[in-house]
Structure formats: C-alpha cells, structure tokens
Amino acid sequence: MTTFAPSRANIRASVAPMPLAPPLIRATFPSSLIACTPVGLISGAFGTYCNAFPMGYNSANRLYGRRPAMTTTGSRWRLKGEYFESCNCEILCPCIVRGTNIEPTEGHCDVALAFHIEEGDLDGVALAGLNFIACNFTPGPMAAGGWTSAMYIDERADTAQREALEKILSGDMGGPAERWRAMTTDFRGVHFVPIDFRVEGKVHSVTVPGVMDFSVEPIQIPGRDDAMLLSNTGHGVNRDLYLARGVRAEYNDQGMIWDNTGKNGHYAAFEWNWP
C-alpha cells in the first residue's frame, strides 16, 4: 500500500520538483533531470539502442523511427554491475509475465531499483564503486505513465562523478534512461545520500539511513541451491532475471511511504553503454 505524507527534510535535493506536464510532451523535456525507471522496454539491448518505446512515448519519434535528439554529442559511457528491485506486486509480478500495459496486483506500483556499479565511466570519468537508486510510484499500469519518481545517488561521488551520473540517468546521454524519463510527470529530485549496497550470497540489500531499507532473497525449490531464473523477459535492465522475495522493503521519503515486505523482487547483472 502507498501512503502519501509530507516530504522529509533531511535529504538534500539538487533540483526542485518538476511540475506536471501534458502526456504528449513528456518525451520532449529539455536537459533538466527527469526520473528514470527501467520499465516498458524490450531488453536484450541494454548495451545498444533499444528501438522499443513504452506506451506514452512521443508518437512522432516512434512512427518515423527517429531517435530523440540528445543534448550532449560525441560522448561515450558505460555502466556494468549488479542490480535488484522490490515492488508491491504479489509473486510473480504480472508486468513480467504479461507486459507493462497490465494493471499491477494492487492497481498501482511501488517499486525501488538499486544499482551498484562495478565498472563504468563517462568520457573517462570513472564511476566504479558507486551506487544509485530509483524509487517510483505509478498510479496504474506502468506503461501508462504518470509516475512520481525520485532518484538517489551515492554521496561519495565527487563533483565530476555526480555530474556524469546525473547526465546518464537523466536520459540526456542516450541509452535506456532516455526512454524511462518519458513516463514521469512528477519528479521529486536527485538526492545525494549515503547508500549501503550489499550482496551476501544470493541476498541483495540496500539501505539509506532514515529513507529506505530493502533486502530481497532468492526464491528456490526446496532441496536445490539455485534460485529460480526467468529467461527472455521484456525487462529493461536484463532479459534474464532471478526471482526473489522482499525480506525487508520499507521506504519513507518524498511524500511516499511503502512496505513491500514479502512481495515480488528480482536481481540480475546489468550492463549499459552508449553509443
């Protein structure tokens, strides 16, 4: 269940909340940051340009096969590492099985996606060792848009690293985030916070003090060591995902309060680059 409450004051935001925008211009925002979440994409292409657009994306770009113009040209970037997510759907999330046009279990989606970068850079600015998290509320099917979103970036990043990650995650640098931002109408800022991302065996966890505490464990057949693996999905992070369950899944920030404990989760490796 999602409860809306006043925003917490103890997190620093680098940008102010973005006002609502009409659905038809969501994909044409300027370079100011818009939140991202990996959904609505046909994956298998996270290292290359994905030609599939989620519902609500600028129809002219889709019809004429044009890629939206990037504000930064001649740059190259890559990110590689580990990711996991936790949402409020029952196991198995219907978006994985039937696509993001389907209504979530509770009619809306509360989802957090946490990333640890093992290798990566933007034009030589090293990003290895840093973490970032996207938290999103969708009022209905994910592909229908209208999301409320907040982005968290590791406070250990120096000025150059912060600028690089903001550029990549805004979608201004191409790649998956260029699609994701089209879904967001209420962006609640980028926040630089202490992020503790851990992988202990098959258990993935992330904490931000006073904001979130998430941990997922694999779902396994009794007597087997391997986690259940979902292959050839349409997920935007990786088409192959391990199935998981939320051990702890609490979030309270930016006017949103979630508890997804016991609900659907996934984890996988990820690798993105551009061009």
Decide: 134 and 83 in contact? Cβ < 8 Å. Answer: no
Contacts of 15 (CB under 8 A, 6+ apart): 32, 33, 187, 189, 190
* Number of independent structural domains in the chain: 1
* Residues of the domain holding 47: 3-16+31-66+77-274
The predicted pLDDT at position 236 comes to 83
Arithmetic mean of pLDDT, 162-191: 87
Residue that wins the pLDDT comparison between 215 and 180:
215
Asked, for residue 21, whether it belongs to a domain, the answer is: no
Asked, for residue 256, whether it belongs to a domain, the answer is: yes
Check whether 69 has a pLDDT greater than 60.
no
Q: Which residues of 220-258 are buried (b: 16+ CB within 10 A; e: fewer)?
A: eeeeeeebeebeebbbbbbbebbbbbbbbbbbbbbbbeb
Peptide bond into 275 cis (omega under 30): yes
**Banded pLDDT at 170 (limits 50, 70, 90):** confident
Asked, for residue 23, whether it belongs to a domain, the answer is: no
Asked, for residue 22, whether it belongs to a domain, the answer is: no
Distance of alpha carbon 93 from alpha carbon 263, whole angstroms: 9
Asked, for residue 117, whether it belongs to a domain, the answer is: yes
- pTM given for the model: 0.76
